[in-house]
Structure 1
């Protein structure tokens, strides 16, 4: 009923039924709107759409939280940027090092320039990159090395039937120490069968008329010369080799004492710090008067019967150089040629080998001169336990090898006493 009475008013009719003017109708509409607004404001003080108390309470807190976290986020972004910059610098350094290694290996001979660091901080690269392994060189040997080597490293000895008894002492001591990554390269069927009967890892090379004739009948020097040709395949397959003559006794695992920072690590024939590691020697020529004294640098030779060689381009070049010279100079001593190729510098008419090298500790990798002339007579040095002892200075090898075992393994303190310093 109320709606029916209000309808004429809303349509523009007055209470008396007389039509309202346009201005009156607008004024009436405004009045009705204001009245309805006041009524709603009185009934719904919080508004027609109510907000939960929680939202009202927490809204300012959310604003405050965002404002508090913003500095932390900025700091975090800055930290991430700094970390990325450091990593980028490390990557650039690695790229520079790899580029330089490629240059040293002969694969990137461009004119790239490198900036030096501050005074006293510059250090050149020592370690050449390893070659890319090529199993196609010798698939049969590659399969053997996969089973024998540890971390792509192994001890290798080359032997024929002439040294069977000494060979037995050699691998018996290796087994006693607990070394598993070793291999005998047999130069004849007899040695191959002997190793197999003793459960010793053995590799019999494929027939090679030239090498086999020497390997089967040759003496120590002839057999020693072959190792440079034989080792080449090991390096091409990507393996580092610790080459060992068989007149060597093992007392510790040698792989625990290698630096691996050079192409060649070799034991020395030197018998003290000067001769093994180098010294300034003065040459005196009185006829020169005021200039009679000339300074020279000297070092005793590396022993070609015990050295660690990494699979690098300079290492393979060294083997090639020595093998080539020995084939042309059959009367040359392999150790002399080995050292000449390793140490002689470039000069007119000759390009020297660019190989890095390290001399092994003479009291850990001990030759028999050091042992019999110095160590056995020194109370403190006698207490040291060597990694290996090489009976390279004495021809009565088997007798001295047995005595060395008695001294270092069985603790017999007088086992070395009855031997002279040198050979009789």
Structure 2
């Protein structure tokens, strides 16, 4: 048998094969070593993007616990607390800014309202016309009704008022006899739009029992005590506060004291061209409508004649007032002064209405009209002039206000006898003296 014998070539090929295997094994070993190194140094992966920076990564100790977790938790809590404080401060600043903005917005809205009222009052700008043709505005615009002021009163006025106007009187249970004459003649004339503001419960029941429209105000201790127990002057001062609500609700009011006899419907004789239209305490053309009063001062030589403008006061027991800004300002001014001063309401009413702006005083910019003193007659005119004049005795006034005399009930009944029942001598027993 012949045996196989490898030659030099075969020996050479075997050696090369062994060397290739060793290189592969070495490469694998190197790869594993490199992998271990990267695994140790980069535990979250070579290509991780979202992971935290190296210095913030946790290194696990031999017990498998985090060596920096407590430190990181403390730092995070402190950071959250500081952020919370910063957010609270920022929130407080924002709230303050919001409040300031709301105040500015409120002021801006008020300014806008005033501007709109001025525009309505003044109208668009225009050129002056030819001589003798120019006329200024006589009537201020009415306010926008605000029923939120007194919803209950608003519902009553919707039923009682005619053309958004009505007669209003204040009364407590001390004046039932006068009030009965008052509303009896209102009914006789046929007036439907009138209302009694009852200042106590007894008066409210009295009006209801006589089918008289009545409004009993909600309890208000500081004010209602005056209404229940006060005399004529405190009650008279109270009316300015109460009237304000009627005007805010958008109604024109013919305010009436209860010592008044109605002989005609007064709404047929109003002009409605002013903020306030009032009867006068004057007794003739000069005192009622104004005149140039001249007094003599000899020490002034050739300038000894001093001229003054005079007019008798308006009677705040009977006046028509429209729901305008100047009218409401008048009521506010009078009510404020009467709450702070010991003063007569009629004097304060006239001072606020007539006194011009001067020094530190800003005059009221309200339009006013004086009623015809023969139609809206005070008792001085009746007893001083009318009953002595045959022509004037035949005229029938709209109302007679027994304001100059104390025996009011007797004189009111006499006025009814004279003008309604035709009893010609009904007024003769009464003297003109105010103390009678």
Q: Which TM-score bucket, shorter chain as reference?
A: 0.7 to 0.9
Q: Does 1:332 align with 2:347?
A: no
Q: Structure 1 residue 350 and structure 2 residue 361: aligned?
A: yes
Q: Partners of 2:236 and 2:423 in 1: how far apart?
A: 33
Counterparts of residues 202-351 of structure 1 (less than 5 Å) = 202-329=214-341, 331-351=342-362
The equivalent residue for 1:368 is 379
Indicate the SS of the match to 2:307: strand
Task: Output the CA distance in 2 between the equivalents of 1:130 and 1:372.
Answer: 38
Q: What does residue range 17-166 of structure 1 map to in structure 2 within 5 Å?
A: 105-106=117-118, 113-166=125-178
Structure 1 residue aligned with 2:418: 407
Change (3 A) 1:204 1:111: closer
**How far, CA to CA, are the matches of 1:352 and 1:283 in structure 2?**
26
Q: For 2:217 and 2:372, how far apart are their aligned partners in 1?
A: 33
Looking at structure 2, the residues matched to 265 and 104 of structure 1 have their Cα atoms a distance apart, in angstroms, of 25
Judging changes above 3 Å, is the alpha-carbon distance between structure 1 residues 201 and 296 closer, same or farther for their aligned structure 2 residues? same
The match for 1:172 is: 184
Q: TM-score, normalised by structure 1?
A: 0.74
Matched, 1:191 2:199: no
Contact 2:259–2:408 (8 Å) recurs in 1: yes
Checking the alignment, whether the CA contact within 8 Å between 1:157 and 1:243 is kept in structure 2 is: yes
Larger Rg: 2
Q: Per-residue CA shift, 1:208-254, capped at 9, x if unaligned? A: 11110111000001100100000000000000000000000000000
1:418, CA displacement in angstroms? 1.3
Measured in 2, the distance between the counterparts of 1:284 and 1:152 equals 50
Determine the structure 2 residue equivalent to 1:31: none
Within 2, Cα distance between the matches of 1:420 and 1:362? 20
Please give the alpha-carbon distance, in whole angstroms, between the structure 1 residues aligned to 2:351 and 2:410.
32
SS of residue matched to 1:210: helix
Secondary structure of 1:337's aligned partner: helix
Classify 1:115/1:408 alpha carbon distance in 2 versus 1 (closer, same or farther; 3 Å): same
Cα distance change, pair 207–107 in 1 and its aligned pair in 2 (3 A): farther
User: Can you give the 5+ residue segments of structure 1 that lack an aligned partner in the other structure?
Assistant: 1-100
Counterpart-to-counterpart distance in 1, 2:116 and 2:288: 28
> Would you say the 8 A contact 2:168–2:196 is kept in 1?
yes
Contact 1:369 1:422 in 2 (8 A): no
User: Where do 4+ consecutive residues of structure 1 move more than 6 Å?
Assistant: 107-112
Offset at 1:282?
0.3
Query: How many residues align structurally?
Result: 323
What's 2:427 paired with? Answer: 416
Question: Does 2:434 correspond to 1:389?
Answer: no
Q: How much has 1:114 moved relative to structure 2?
A: 3.1
Take 2:426 and 2:115, find their aligned partners in 1: how far apart are those partners? 53
In 1: Cα distance, 2:121 partner to 2:145 partner = 22
Aligned equivalents of 2:242, 2:158: Cα separation in 1: 18
What are the ranges of 5 or more consecutive residues in structure 2 without an aligned counterpart? 1-112
Give deviations 1:103-138, integer Å, cap 9, x for gaps.
694468999743111110000000000000011110
Q: Distance in 2 between matches of 1:324 and 1:336?
A: 14
1:114–1:166 Cα change, 3 Å: same
Q: Secondary structure at the match of 1:380?
A: helix
Compute the RMSD of aligned alpha carbons: 1.7
Q: Distance in 1 between matches of 2:364 and 2:119?
A: 16
For 2:272 and 2:410, the matched residues in 1 are separated by 34
CA contact (8 A) 1:103 1:109 kept: no
